[in-house]
Amino acid sequence: MYVAKVKLESIRGFHDARKVDLDLARPSGDQSGWTVVTGPNGSGRTTLLQAIALAIAGPALAPTLLPSPAAWISSGKQQGGIEIDLVPGEEDKFPRGFQPPEGNVFADLVLTPSGITTESNVGRNGPWQENPPGWFAVGYGPYRQPGAVNRPQSCLAGLFRADVPLNEAASPAALALINDGLLPDGSTAIAEADGLWVEQEGRRLPLRELGDGYRNLIALVLDLTRRLPGPVETATGVVLIDEVEAHLNLPWQQWIGGWLKSHFPRLQFIVSTNSPYVCQASDPGGLISLAGPPRIIDGDLYDRVVHGSGEDVALSELFGLDSPYAPGARRLRHELVELEMKVLDGQANEIQLARYRELQELLVSSPAARATEIAARLQRDKARRRP
């Protein structure tokens, strides 16, 4: 199962000009891979992922995930709507004799102050079946920690609640997966009778004593592997991860998308992030911006994101960072440009020359920053030469 289309109308901040109408189909026709949702804080990244999860869960299970749907209806609206199109896989079974009218399965929810209903029954023949064969979907929130799982949990509950622990039971296959490049610096995960341990440079440490980055990522991979309906190489389905970069250092942020894609090659990952580095792994048709009206990023901006540096991505319109430097550093760089103009014009006195040399040594520019500084100088030259 894969998500092909998503529509939201009058759901929280998604209304009127900001309603969601996204086609997630890839140009290659393959729906698996890395789809990234990004946007400023408050733009609705979490809401979009949770809405997809609710539509997959259906009207019977959705109220257990969202007990108060009234809070999700946009201000001034009577009801909200969620619609998704799902592409079934070979392992996603329908009741005997049923075939979806257009190949895909349409699943919709209507949210009102009194509850959650549906206008279409097609989903009841797909993922909304009781214990449906296939139709795999799982969701993870930003608080992904291992722990004891004492009662059955919906595969999607972790996307809505922070108190849902991830199963840390480690099968040999899951350990082999983790030890295939997931951990940095040659670290190795080892299963012992008293839990999971990580060996680093000859020292063994229990997983519970390691940082949140280690625990977060190992717990996610263990839980996902345990829940899969089939082998990791062939299992299909949808994996929703909110704030996928949580607790991960920059190198991990940069390659986690590629690692998950290569080790779960037929899963569709839909993740939210505030990290430029997570965006670099997005597949064609799989980069969504919620800054302004929700849209798929393509063309030159997409190329800049996936082929440029992290600084390029951060400075692009996708993130809107004005400068990679702190305010104090920006003031010093502005001073450097002003002094450089005087030095080149032969108008700098001894004090200004000394200050210029001091700032040159202090401010080591990246190539991108130096290009910006040179452009500023040329612009000033041009303005000065005008009659």
Give residue-wise pLDDT tens across range 207-253.
888 888 888 898 899 999 999 988 999 999 999 999 999 999 999 99
The encoded tokens of residue 270 equal 């839909």
- CA-to-CA distance for 223 and 34, rounded, in angstroms? 19
| Cβ neighbourhood burial of 364 (10 Å; 0-12, 13-18, 19+) | exposed
Same-domain status, 251 and 348: no
Same-domain status, 49 and 10: yes
Same-domain status, 380 and 274: no
The parent domain of residue 22 ranges over 2-136+228-315
Query: Tell me, what CATH number does 287's domain have?
Result: 3.40.50.300
Same-domain status, 13 and 104: yes
Q: What is the pLDDT of residue 378?
A: 62
Same-domain status, 355 and 287: no
Assigned domain for 89 exists: yes
Same-domain status, 264 and 117: yes
Backbone angles phi, psi at 149, to 5 degrees: -100, 100
Q: Do residues 95 and 129 touch, judged by C-beta distance below 8 A?
A: yes
251 Cβ partners below 8 Å, 6+ apart? 184
Assigned domain for 66 exists: yes
Assigned domain for 162 exists: no
Assigned domain for 42 exists: yes
Element (H, E) at 63: helix 45-65
Same-domain status, 297 and 341: no
Q: Residue 235 CB: number of other CB atoms within 10 A? A: 20
- CA-to-CA distance for 135 and 87, rounded, in angstroms? 10
Query: How many domains are contained in the chain?
Result: 2
CA 124 from centre of chain:
29
Q: Residue 178 CB: number of other CB atoms within 10 A? A: 22
Q: Do residues 135 and 90 touch, judged by C-beta distance below 8 A?
A: no
Q: What is the pLDDT of residue 373?
A: 59
Assigned domain for 200 exists: no
Full-model pTM: 0.88
Closest CA to 132 of 97, 98, 94: 94
Q: What is the pLDDT of residue 150?
A: 45
Residues with pLDDT less than 70, the chain: 97, 101-102, 145-153, 365-387
Same-domain status, 342 and 292: no
Q: Do residues 267 and 275 touch, judged by C-beta distance below 8 A?
A: no
- CA-to-CA distance for 197 and 270, rounded, in angstroms? 30
DSSP at 212: H
Same-domain status, 337 and 287: no
Q: Do residues 38 and 242 touch, judged by C-beta distance below 8 A?
A: no
Same-domain status, 333 and 293: no
Assigned domain for 141 exists: no
Last residue of a domain, one of 315, 343, 374: 315
| Distance set, CA 167 to CA 194, 196, 215, 271 (Å) | 15, 12, 12, 20
- Angle between helices 327-344 and 350-362 in degrees, nearest 10: 130
Element (H, E) at 83: strand 80-87
Q: What is the pLDDT of residue 124?
A: 84
Same-domain status, 334 and 311: no
Last residue of a domain, one of 295, 315, 335: 315
Last residue of a domain, one of 293, 315, 337: 315
Q: Do residues 241 and 220 touch, judged by C-beta distance below 8 A?
A: yes
Same-domain status, 21 and 105: yes
Q: Do residues 50 and 159 touch, judged by C-beta distance below 8 A?
A: yes
Q: What is the pLDDT of residue 146?
A: 66
| Distance set, CA 10 to CA 15, 40, 46, 71 (Å) | 4, 20, 16, 11
Assigned domain for 379 exists: yes
Assigned domain for 183 exists: no
